[in-house]
A and B are shown apart, each in its own frame.
Chain A
Amino acid sequence: MNKESINRREAILSAANNLRWEIGENFHDKLMESIYANASNISGKAVTAPGKKTRFSWERNLDRLLTSKYLGFPVMFLILGIVFWLTVEGANVPSGLLASLLIDTLQPVLKGFSLSIGLPVWLAGVLIDGAYLAMAWVISVMLPPMAIFFPLFTLLEDLGYLPRVSFNMDSVYRKVGAHGKQALTMAMGFGCNAAGVIAARVIDSPRERLIAIITNNFSLCNGRWPTQILIATIFIGSAVPAYLAGIVSAAAVVFVAILGILFSLVVSWGLSKSVLKGEASAFSLELPPYRPPQIMRTLYTSLIDRTIFVLWRAIIFAIPAGVVIWLVGNVTIGGETIALFFSSRVDPLAVIFGLNGIIFLAYIIAIPANEIVIPTILMLTVMNLGLIDVGEGAGVMFELDSTVATADILFAGGWTLLTGINLMMFSLLHNPCSTTIYTIYRETKSIKWTVVATFLPIVMGLVVTFFVAQIWRLAAGN
């Protein structure tokens, strides 16, 4: 680039500066005014609208209910509650069927086959007892709930309910200094946090977008619902009379989800009052008309684009994790397996938080995918207790046929109601999965904020479980 053209370009810019002074400051407003005037003029010529205000009448009434000051939130919780209830109830049977097919039937066949063709025992173990079982578990636990949850959620989306949720949440988020559209990204996070982090692009201001990204992890994602449901059923459900068990454990899960929303509000508030200071920016949100959902298309796209996509991702991560679990359960250091070596040393620390060393180890192994936390915990517990006759032997991830059997193992491992509650808390408040961490980095392009988004929830989780454990022990008097 030569000097002359640099000079010419600077001349253009300085000419622009001079002209800007000549035309005056409110030039932008004038331009917008003439655009609006032109638009109004043109549409006035081309559009004939009805004289009477008959349009939108039933939609207005529905909006009045869904975005009502008093009923808006209860209706929202009710709708979300129904969606989750249908998911939990509907997923049970197909989950069991898949597990009995993939794990009870197919796994021994594969193991027998791989040994019969002469694979070394350790290799057959890594491949079948590690990688294959991890994959089978993820499919049987994740596929049924996703195949129900995603279509239901997409139907709500197609119907036009999401902008109403956003409208309801706007005032709350604005009070804590965040953007009202954060409600949309939060809702996306209930499916998958990585998707929620990407969805934060709809937020204009970088400050508010960062807040939305950092707090998205407080939306319980697909990978964490099964953990919440299982632990709530075992520990909370069994603490109340049998006829209440179902409703109470479902309520406990909804409570944890709402707690997650509260944490996202508190953290948003904290961030916008400290490192990410600023005013909440105003935005206009259109409430689009309600449209009858296209049921078949919704089913098709939500199954193919979301369910299969998320499942595929989970499988990709579960296979290597399965290998790692098999290895830590079988490779020994000085006569102890790595798993035992680690968990027995971390145990004294973990007990302070009302958890145990096995849970910590499971969360480290399960960083790639939250879905495999529970199977990992069960496998490690069995090994620690030497309960070889339960499940399929040491170092094998397995699914137990009934929650009763799972409960027996956990109680035998020294678990109490406190351990259950704190595991639910820690499942809500811990680092995002590796995909989400990577997505956060890609979206923020900042190592600093990725680190914050990763470790902030862990610190919070430890603080919360610590206090729950201390108060619990004080109340119990020991």
Chain B
Amino acid sequence: MSEIKSHNCEVCPVHNIGHLKKLGINMSDFNFVVALAGNPNTGKSTVFNNLTGLRQHTGNWPGKTVTRAEGGFEYNDYKFKLVDLPGTYSLLSTSTDEEVARNFILFGQPDVTVIVVDSTRLERNLNLVIQILEITDHAVICLNMIDEAKRYQIKIDERSLSKELGVPVIPAAARQGEGMDELLKAIHDVATGSYICKPHRIKKISSELNIAVEKLSEKIIEEFPNLQNVRWVALRLLEGDQSIIDAIRSGELESIKPGIAESIKQEPVLE
């Protein structure tokens, strides 16, 4: 009986929680960088604490995290550096805390971006998800607060959501620690390339806009062949985003890539 049980355990992803090693602030020699993004007050810091074993202060109000916090964990012999970003409603605005998130996802080039969403407010949260999927190819959606959604009798078909968005969707209740093992596995699979994302791209953009984006993208890629998020950079240029204009002029657009992780340094938090 007990043998059967242990065999069942091994094939179940939950078993892998045994392979999680919380590394706290020990982040040396990491293999992958994972960013935690999402709307304000969706529980990013709670997920962060669950995975790293750190005690980043959490609170039930939007805008609590104003700086980046970093921590590490080890899973299946890979070391991950986890970066908790301030919550943001959109990547198109420019307040100080939202810029931290935007710059990191855009220029920090995380290996995986985990987008934490509030299951009870999915439609609104999807606006940010769609924007992030526009600029990264490697993402995982964490459908957090799924317990609250159940309480309000909201049913979410995570498989059809995953199909629509082209990335793994993991239901979770981070405050109770539920779904963290499945989330770990999804992060691992996306980071190692065993799950290939086919991220959703914005549809129904007018054709003239599409043509403009294409034209501009071609020109940009000529000058910056290693740039990953060309479409998004083109969109921002069309909108006249000054920080992108400056980055093109100075050539920083590409060269910041490796250095940016250092330049968007975490500031010491006084709390």
A300 contact set on B, CB distance < 8 A:
55
Interface residues of B in 250-271 (CB under 8 A from A): 251, 267, 269-271
Tell whether, in the assembled complex, residue A160 and residue B160 are in contact, meaning their CB atoms are under 8 Å apart.
no
Known contacts A35-B202, A163-B62; decide if A15 and B216 are in contact (CB<8 Å).
yes
Interface residues of B in 116-138 (CB under 8 A from A): 120, 122-124, 126-127, 129-131
Known contacts A12-B223, A31-B235, A160-B60; decide if A37 and B204 are in contact (CB<8 Å).
yes
B10 contact set on A, CB distance < 8 A:
none
Can you list 29 residue pairs at the A/B interface with Cβ under 8 Å? A9-B249, A12-B216, A12-B248, A16-B240, A20-B238, A22-B212, A23-B209, A23-B212, A23-B238, A28-B92, A30-B205, A39-B126, A42-B126, A43-B122, A43-B123, A47-B156, A56-B152, A154-B59, A158-B60, A163-B61, A194-B270, A204-B96, A204-B98, A288-B41, A288-B62, A294-B175, A305-B57, A305-B271, A442-B267
Mark B96-120 against chain A: 1 for CB-CB distance below 8 A, else 0.
Answer: 1110000000000000000000001
Tell whether, in the assembled complex, residue B122 and residue A46 are in contact, meaning their CB atoms are under 8 Å apart.
yes
Mark A121-159 against chain B: 1 for CB-CB distance below 8 A, else 0.
Answer: 000000000000000000000000000000000100111
Name B97's closest neighbour in chain A (CB-CB).
A201
By a beta-carbon cutoff of 8 Å, the part of chain B in contact with chain A is: 40-41, 55, 57-63, 66-67, 89, 92-98, 120, 122-124, 126-127, 129-131, 148, 152-158, 160-161, 164-165, 175, 200, 202-206, 208-209, 212, 215-216, 219-220, 222-223, 234-235, 237-240, 245, 248-249, 251, 267, 269-271
Name A313's closest neighbour in chain B (CB-CB).
B270
Tell whether, in the assembled complex, residue A309 and residue B271 are in contact, meaning their CB atoms are under 8 Å apart.
yes
Contacts A28-B239, A45-B160, A154-B59 aside, 17 further interface pairs with beta carbons under 8 A come to: A8-B222, A9-B251, A13-B249, A16-B237, A36-B127, A39-B123, A48-B154, A48-B157, A160-B60, A162-B60, A162-B61, A163-B62, A204-B96, A286-B41, A288-B60, A301-B57, A309-B271
Mark A194-207 against chain B: 1 for CB-CB distance below 8 A, else 0.
Answer: 11001101111000
Tell whether, in the assembled complex, residue B122 and residue A160 are in contact, meaning their CB atoms are under 8 Å apart.
no
Known contacts A42-B164, A48-B154, A288-B62; decide if A34 and B202 are in contact (CB<8 Å).
yes
Query: Is A111 at the interface (CB under 8 A from chain B)?
Result: no
User: A35, A162, A181, A192 — which one has the most chain B CB atoms within 10 A of its CB?
Assistant: A35
Tell whether, in the assembled complex, residue A39 and residue B63 are in contact, meaning their CB atoms are under 8 Å apart.
no
Tell whether, in the assembled complex, residue A288 and residue B130 are in contact, meaning their CB atoms are under 8 Å apart.
no
Tally of chain A residues near chain B (CB < 8 A): 73
Tell whether, in the assembled complex, residue B152 and residue A50 are in contact, meaning their CB atoms are under 8 Å apart.
yes
